[in-house]
Amino acid sequence: MNLSRQLQLLFLFSLTLLIGVAVDLSGKISWHDQQRMGQIALLVITMLGSATIWRADLAGMLARLPTWVKWSWVCAFAIGLVSAARSDYPRFALIEWANFLLLLWLTLLWAGQVSKANDLDKWLQRLVIAVAVVIAVKVMASYLGSIIPRVKLDSTILFTEGFSNRRFFGQLASLLIPLLAFPLLHQKLGKIKRTSFFLLLSIWWMLAIASGTRGTWLALALSSGVLMAGAWRSSLPWLNVQAKAFVLGMVLFVLLFIWAPQLSQLDTSVENRFSDITTLSGREILWDTAVDQVRAHPLLGIGPMHLAAIKNHIAAHPHNSALQLMAEWGIPASLALMLPFVIGLFSLIGKVRTLQGEDASLLVCLLAALLAATTQSMVDGVIVMPYTQLWLVVIGGWALGTYYKTVTRKFDLRPSPQIVWVAPLVSIMGLALLLASISPEVMNWQVSIQRYVDEGSFLPPRYWVRGWIPTGQ
């Protein structure tokens, strides 16, 4: 297949992901809403493309998937649609239902393109490095802007240029730190390049520590543990690189965030999460609420997004992806959604053990990123935040496409006529449903946000930064 076809979609991903953290399009729009708008724009273009110029990629990927996976997802979204229709606020439920469907569709489209291209990996590596450099430069510029003029150094605001909450940076760190090790696993790499890539990875470890995001530390630790247990020999080079980068990152953190401010007698506020590393920070309240809804509505749940209709003083989502899906979609739909993903992770672990060379190194990095995201989703809103969602699409599709490139078993790549027609139809119908559901939000966005601001209401992000589902809408 012509590589330019894949580069077109990669260009759209790159543009959305770079603008999402590098360019503040309007001081009146939060980074969360700006990133959501970028996601919507990307979905509009890609779903139209999946129904036309990229239809063969999507249909081909669907043809490769096991039949049980396709029927599992059909059942999940069918039950989710019934749940949305029966919910208290169907329009809001349909927003998240359609959004999840289109993100899954985009992942499959991207996987179909990756599986057919041999030179796409290097461009994806460049995208990861470019985003990592942009964010690192912005954060370090903010750091220098505090320490050089000798104003107060506050680690809690270093990540505000690009993220509505530094915890969202932590989610991205869990995804990018595993991937930033990939260039260092190549033997043919010059000394200057190797040093530069290692320094970039170490800086990201330093920033992950400085962000105080305990979910990131847990995610990277557990993903490393799973790789050690499941694919020790194949993952050993990756583990070795990460261990060295972590040590240097910790040294840089001590030098830049503790020693340097003390030496210059600078007023400093560096968040110390090590002192309360085991506390839940109110998550137990969110989890109890979700568990109560699972018990009360085990089959259909209360409707997608509807935990945001149960007001609390902490968040509009439960900081646990499994509880969120079970409470909102019901247990059957949740199992149907999650089972293919869980089995897919085990398949990737098995594949990593049998491969050698560059393909094995790449799959180790991708697997580590997905394992880290899965772990962090148990304590954070990984499946809710728009910027994180797009990276999950990129990395998930990359991993799935790479897996099928390495499978020796031949697949029938000729999709059935039903798939050829149904795939683009689902793309257009899902897109139309999403746009129709969010149109009242978009048309009245400024008025709605201002009303909450005037009332002094808490604005916890969910789909938009105004996370609550308003009563009576």
DSSP character string of 368-425: HHHHHHHHHTTTS-TTT-HHHHHHHHHHHHHHHHHHHHH--S-------HHHHHHHHH
Q: What is the pLDDT of residue 411?
A: 56
Digits of tens for pLDDT over the chain (473 positions)? Answer: 456 777 899 999 999 999 999 988 766 788 999 999 999 999 999 999 999 999 988 998 999 999 999 999 999 999 999 999 999 999 999 999 999 999 999 999 999 999 887 788 999 999 999 999 999 999 999 888 888 877 778 888 888 888 988 889 999 999 999 999 999 997 688 889 999 999 999 999 999 999 988 999 999 999 999 999 998 888 999 999 999 999 999 999 999 988 988 887 777 777 766 767 778 888 999 999 999 999 999 999 999 999 999 988 888 999 999 999 999 999 999 999 999 999 999 999 999 988 877 778 999 999 999 999 999 999 999 999 999 999 999 999 999 999 998 876 655 567 777 788 888 999 999 999 999 999 887 777 777 666 666 665 667 889 998 888 874 34
Answer yes or no: are the C-beta atoms of 88 and 443 closer than 8 Å.
Answer: no
Nearest to 101 by CA among 84, 124, 113, 114: 84
Helix axes 232-253, 191-210, angle to 10 degrees: 70
Looking up tokens 């605001």, which residue turns up? Answer: 157
Question: In Å, how far are 93, 287, 412 from 423, measured between CA atoms?
Answer: 23, 36, 17
Q: Which two tokens stand for residue 153?
A: 């150094």
Strands 153-154 and 268-269: parallel
Element (H, E) at 258: none
* HSE-up of residue 408 (Cα within 13 Å, Cβ side): 3
Helix axes 386-406, 358-376, angle to 10 degrees: 150
Q: Which long-range contacts (CB under 8 A, 24 or more apart) does 406-413 make?
A: 406/351, 406/355, 406/359, 406/363, 407/351, 411/63, 411/64, 412/63, 413/60, 413/63, 413/64
Coil, strand or helix: which one is 1?
coil
Around Cβ 68, how many Cβ atoms within 10 Å?
11
d(CA 218, CA 345) in angstroms, rounded, equals 18
Instruction: Name residue 268's beta-bridge partners.
Output: 153
Q: Which two tokens stand for residue 393?
A: 């699409």
Nearest to 171 by CA among 135, 203, 215: 215
Q: What proportions of the chain, in percent to the nearest 5, are helix, strand and coil?
A: 75, 0, 25
Coil, strand or helix: which one is 271?
coil
Nearest to 159 by CA among 89, 213, 120, 222: 213
Answer yes or no: are the C-beta atoms of 273 and 210 closer than 8 Å.
Answer: no
Q: What is the pLDDT of residue 459?
A: 72
DSSP 277-337: TT--TTHHHHHHHHHHHHHHSTTT-S-TTGGGGS--SS-SS-S-HHHHHHHHH-HHHHHHH
Looking up tokens 């953290």, which residue turns up? Answer: 21
Around Cβ 296, how many Cβ atoms within 10 Å?
10
Q: Which two tokens stand for residue 321?
A: 């992806």
Around Cβ 189, how many Cβ atoms within 10 Å?
14
b/e string for 326-339 if b means 16 or more Cβ within 10 A?
Answer: bbbbbbbbbbbbbe
In angstroms and rounded to an integer, the radius of gyration of the C-alpha atoms of the chain is 22
Burial environment of residue 132 by CB neighbours within 10 A (0 to 12, 13 to 18, 19 or more): buried
Answer yes or no: are the C-beta atoms of 461 and 385 closer than 8 Å.
Answer: yes
**CA 220 from centre of chain:** 14
Around Cβ 234, how many Cβ atoms within 10 Å?
21
Instruction: Show Cβ contacts of residue 181 under 8 Å, excluding neighbours closer than 6 positions.
Output: 201, 238, 241, 242, 245, 365
